[in-house]
Structure 1
Amino acid sequence: MKYNRVEELCSLHTNLSVADVQKISEIVVTLPLIADLNKANVFVDCPTKDGKHALVVAEAVPKTTKSVYKKTVVGKLVYEAFEPSVLFTLRTGKPMFLNRALTQEGKTVDQSVVPIIANDNRIIGTLIMEKDISEQVRYQQKMEALSEATKTLSGILIGMTENRPIIPEVIEESLFFIDQEGKILYSNPAASNLIQEIGKGDFTPGDLLIDYFPIIKGILNDSEELLVQEVNILNKVFQVKKITLGQHVKSNGIFVIFKNITELREKERELIVKSVAIREIHHRVKNNLQTVASLLRLQIRRGLPEESKVHFVESLNRISSIASVHEIILANSSVDDVDIYSLIEKIGNMLVVEAEHENQKVSISYSGPPHLLIKSNKAVSVALVINELIQNCVKHAFNSINEGKISVQFAQYGNEIHVQVIDNGKGYTPKSKNSLGLEIVGMIVKHDLSGDFSIGPAETGTIALVRFPIDREVVEE
């Protein structure tokens, strides 16, 4: 604390004597402790020479809480209009406690003021403590506004005239307003119609709501101010919402709103049934494809001409790739989306295992973002494309080497998916493009996926690239 600053301010702006300033300085020494102990900003104000205002000659900012002020106020004048308690204490010598004041930075504070008295009983200054209550004031104002709004709304409902109802009568929901005892004070036309619909006839204001709807007794008795539950009334589903209009601990009334959601729930049930049916279709298609695959395997085991065997194996792999799409769908929660990573991995592993049966040493790796989804109809086309490209690697790339490596990489770029199949085999030759597998790939990519397909030499081996949009565009002939 700069005590010479206290002496300087008092000398320039007050009529205090040297002894008075010495007493003020002794009090200033204790300000930091007082501020930390009370978690408040503490000040010493002294009267100006004209006696109309006060001057802040010292301050202490608490280390135990956030300061009320962003900037120092030492040397600032204190005006009676903003801090009347300070001037009142300077003039009368009477302390003031927890009075509301407005700081020079516009914050609302609780201000306590006690006089500083000289040895001859003259008032030479004030010791002030301020705590920020801006948030409390805002909360109090909100509560007062809410309370007033609640009171007004209750009055509107209770005191509305018969000829000019305030609440819109066109509201679709059935709305009741009841008192604390559950007596109906107001109902809109939809609510009156609901009572007639359940066969209770007309009702009289003042009747108990639970006499018409016993099923909501538990909702009304619940202590929650806002509660939403579904109930069944006459084979219909209603969402019942209870809103308690509270004013402090006393309730002004309760809104009870019935919303008919029968149609919504029926549509949800229809969607569930459709989802189950779709999953059943996927299950049957997968089983049928696996049956066909089993028949092909059986035929291969029973023996085939060597020139025919390769064609059976290729057909078997294509069928198994399509079956993989349906198998992945059944394993996931979605009935129409396929995770492309899982699909590529399943097909690739299947083909590598098949290669191992033919005494080929082939390893395969995958890279791409997880949970990249495509629609099931597009997934079938992607499965066939991936099958042909990996099968092409296994069949042609590694004839002259002992061990082969295949890398399948995919990524999303905007609305487009790129899939690369790279091998370290003997390399690409233009005549390879005439193979049936690559013709199938080109046709599927163009017509089913509306994409592009390219194949060419890599640094070592061959790289095939497929690009297609996520949102399918039909390619016309």
Structure 2
Amino acid sequence: MPALNRIVAERTRLDDTDISWLEDLVDDWQMLADTSFSDLILWVPDRDPNVFWAVAQVRPDTGPTALEDDVVGESVAYDDESLVTEAFMSAEMCETSDNKLSAGIPVDVWAIPIVRHGDVVAVVERHTNQMGVRAPGNTEDSYLEIADILSEMLHHGRFSRFPGSDRALAPKVTDGVIRVAATGMITFASPNALSAFRRLGLAGDLDGEYLIPMVRELCPKLREVGQSLTLDLEGRWLTETDIENSEATLRARVIPLQTWLDDVEVSAGTLILIRDLTELRDRDRQLVTKDATIREIHHRVKNNLQTVAALLRMQSRRISNPDAKDALKQAMGRVSAIAVVHEILSQNFEEQVAFDEVADRILHMVGDVAASSGSVVARREGSFGDVPAETATALSLATTELCQNAIEHSLDSSSGNVIVRPHRTDDALVVDIVSDGKPLPAGFSLDDHRSSLGLSIVTTLVQDLDGTFTLENNSDRVGTCARLVIPLQRM
């Protein structure tokens, strides 16, 4: 709500508490617009009490708009005939005696002053397009009666936001409306609300039913655990709750209604907005099942790869030929690197992998496997960040190959350091694998070493990621630096 915050900060004397209350109002005033079939405009007073600013506007989902233009940012100044001025000065709700014409359309206008702690802090205007008001009927009459009660609550500063409400799932007037009397009996249910309860198994009508006994009958499992649901549906406080059985899931938004008789607040029953979430909940359950299945697949792949690595390790111990033993060790490292990625993917639901953990495991593994003698320290400096699952396997295998290559050739499998330095630029992930051993021979070129299986694997993997791979000596001619550059589009 940038307009509200900016104008209030620049133009008014409202305190932070009132501003926060108005922000909450704007979050939830759609139900007043829908039940009254009206456009709503929120006006706040300038430091000059004769000037008012429009800071928010909403249009009804239940009927045509009465205002063709957006008036947010406009002002009303020194207009004694303005309904906003009249409502603000009198602290009473005001209505036009005759329909105004707006762009040739007859419009009924109400002005509702919001009184908090004895002071009028703002005015809400209701503009109703009389040409678009639906033919009178039970639904229309019930909506307008609810709108009058909500307007009175707004006038007394009792129109507040739901705590912890999920805006994406919150029911709206167009989803379904139920009006419950103070006795607990349903006095009105919109067609959509009736359809929603029919999915729960209701055979008859909602009108005349007592809400809580009916819900307990439709949802047998709630009989044992339904105390909190019962309290929620009694309308003692603003809340949202789920009503569900094996057939359907409904989301209920419960709004206690109040009216005032001789300045005494009394209950006017409860307004319940109902939304059918059955399909959405079914999709959620399907997604959870799919996620669990995918995690189980990753877990089994990891187990199979670890079994393959163990078999390669056993085979290498039975072979005396140094070249064959070395080839099996390298194959074991490649398989183990892929297994690490699948292990991490099996432990979370995210499609992104925290690659620092993968890299640390690879470095620990490579140091143990590749160094046949001496002491090799392999460590990471910097962070990879999150990497997509489809990129993580290729990146882990490339990192493994280059670390093994540095240990075996630059360090000659003896003592030394291998440092992996990842960092991100504006458009790429850059990974440097640096060793402090022997430099590359003079005239070294990657094109001349295509026969190297390890370097060929790295080149192919990086090309598949639309990246680049270079291998050169460090600037001080001590050791080597292999650099991978992966575009962030693949991240």
- TM-score (normalised: structure 2): 0.59
Q: Distance in 1 between matches of 2:270 and 2:483?
A: 66
Does the residue aligned with 1:471 lie in a helix, a strand or coil?
helix
**Residue 431 (structure 1) shift:** 3.7
| Per-residue Cα deviation, 1:424-471 (whole angstroms, up to 9, x for no partner) | 11112244731332222112111x211011111102211111001233
- What does residue 408 of structure 2 align with? 395
Aligned to 1:269: 285
2: CA distance between counterparts of 1:272 and 1:177?
35
Counting only pairs closer than 5 Å after superposition, residues 32-181 of structure 1 correspond to structure 2 as 139-141=117-119, 161-162=137-138, 165=141, 167=143, 172-181=174-183
CA, structure 1 residues 144+172, in 2 after alignment: closer, same or farther (shift >3 Å)? closer
Query: Once the two structures are superposed, what CA deviation does each residue of 1:20-58 show, in whole Å capped at 9, x if it has no partner?
Result: xxxxxxxxxxxxxxxxxxxxxxxxxxxxxxxxxxxxxxx
Q: Look up the match of 1:127.
A: none
Once the two structures are TM-superposed, the CA of residue 305 in structure 1 deviates from its matched residue by: 1.7
State the partner residue of 2:100. Answer: none
Q: CA deviation at 1:172?
A: 4.6
Q: Aligned pair 1:438/2:455, yes or no?
A: yes
TM-aligned CA deviation for residue 138 of structure 1: 5.6
What secondary structure sits across from 1:364 in the alignment?
Answer: strand
Distance 1:167 1:410 in 2: 61
SS at match of 1:414: coil
Task: State how many pairs are aligned.
Answer: 325
Which of these residues, 337, 340, 353, is aligned with residue 368 of structure 2? 353
Query: Aligned residue for 2:88?
Result: none
Given that residues 275 and 335 in structure 1 are in contact (C-alpha distance below 8 angstroms), is that contact kept between their aligned partners in structure 2? no
1:56 matched residue in structure 2:
none
Identity of aligned residues (%): 28
Counterpart secondary structure, 2:490: coil
- Relative distance call for 1:195 and 1:262 in structure 2 (3 A) is closer
Report the secondary structure of 1:454's partner residue: strand
Change (3 A) 1:347 1:251: same
1:236 match: 248
- The Cα of 1:396 is off from its aligned counterpart by 0.6
Secondary structure of residue in 2 paired with 1:368: coil
CA distance in 2: counterparts of 1:365 and 1:194, whole angstroms? 59
The Cα of 1:352 is off from its aligned counterpart by 0.9
Counterpart position of 2:376: 362
Q: 1:382 aligns with which of 368, 383, 395?
A: 395
Q: Deviations over 1:276-329 (max 9, x none)?
A: 111111111111111111111111111242222211111111111111111222
8 Å Cα contact 1:278-1:335 kept in structure 2: no
Please tell me the residue identity of whatever aligns with 1:191: A
Q: Residue 456 in 1 paired to residue 469 in 2? A: no
Aligned residues of 1:195 and 1:201 also touching (Cα < 8 A):
no
- Name the amino acid aligned to 2:286: E
In structure 2, distance between residues paired with 1:324 and 1:308: 24
Match of 1:417 among 421, 429, 432: 429
Match for 2:398: what amino acid?
A: V
- Partner of residue 204, structure 2: 201
RMSD across aligned C-alpha pairs, in angstroms? Answer: 3.3
Mapping for residues 179-328 of structure 1, pairs under 5 Å: 179-194=181-196, 198-202=201-205, 204=207, 207-210=209-212, 212-214=214-216, 217-221=230-234, 223-224=236-237, 226-233=238-245, 235-247=247-259, 249-328=265-344
- Checking the alignment, whether the CA contact within 8 Å between 1:231 and 1:237 is kept in structure 2 is yes
- Call closer, same or farther: CA 1:376–1:179 in 2, change over 3 Å: same
Question: Structure 1 residues 391, 238: closer, same or farther in 2, change over 3 A?
Answer: same
Shift in Å, 1:414: 2.6
Verify: 1:404 aligned to 2:407, yes or no: no
Displacement, 1:239? Answer: 1.2
Specify the alignment match of 1:340 in structure 2.
Answer: 355
DSSP 3-state at the match of 1:257: strand
1:323–1:217 distance in 2 versus 1, CA, 3 Å: closer
Deviations along 1:177-204, one digit per CA (max 9) or x if unpaired, are 1222223332212234456663442455
Once the two structures are superposed, what CA deviation does each residue of 1:58-78 show, in whole Å capped at 9, x if it has no partner?
A: xxxxxxxxxx9xxxxxxxxxx
Is contact 2:196–2:250 with CA below 8 Å preserved after alignment? no
Tell me by how many angstroms 1:173 deviates. Answer: 2.3
CA displacement at 1:406 relative to structure 2: 1.2
- In the alignment, is the contact (CA less than 8 A) between 2:196 and 2:275 conserved in 1? no
Alignment-mate amino acid for residue 466 of structure 1: L
Q: CA–CA distance in 2 between the matches of 1:163 and 1:406?
A: 75
Provide the rounded CA distance (Å) in 2 between the counterparts of 1:190 and 1:243: 18
Residue 115 of structure 2 contacts residue 121 of structure 2 at CA under 8 Å; is this kept in 1? no
8 A contact 2:435–2:481 mirrored in 1? yes
Equivalent position amino acid for 1:436 in 2? L
* TM-score, scaled to structure 1: 0.61
Q: Once the 2 structures are TM-superposed, how far is the Cα of residue 381 of structure 1 from its aligned partner?
A: 0.5
Q: Which residue of 1 aligns with 2:489?
A: 471
Supply the distance in 2 between the matched residues of 1:278 and 1:412 (Cα, whole angstroms). Answer: 30
Amino acid at match of 2:282: E
Aligned residue for 1:338, secondary structure, equals strand
The equivalent of 1:54 in structure 2 is none
Deviation per CA, 1:78-130: give whole Å up to 9, x if none.
Answer: xxxxxxxxxxxxxxxxxxxxxxxxxxx869xxxxxxxxxxxxxxxxxxxxxxx
CA distance 1:271–1:142, change in 2 (3 Å): farther
Is contact 1:195–1:202 with CA below 8 Å preserved after alignment? Answer: no
Match of 1:101 in 2: none
**CA separation in 1, counterparts of 2:193 and 2:388?**
46
1:11 maps to none
CA deviations on 1:397-424 (whole Å, 9 max, x unpaired) are 1239x63111110012234110000111
Cross-structure match for 1:76:
none
Change beyond 3 A, Cα 1:399–1:182: closer
CA apart distance, 1:139: 4.5
Instruction: Answer 1 or 2: higher relative contact order, Cα 8 Å, separation at least 6.
Output: 2
2:338/2:393 contact within 8 Å kept: yes
Give unpaired runs (5+ residues) of structure 2: 1-12, 14-46, 50-113, 127-135, 145-171, 220-228
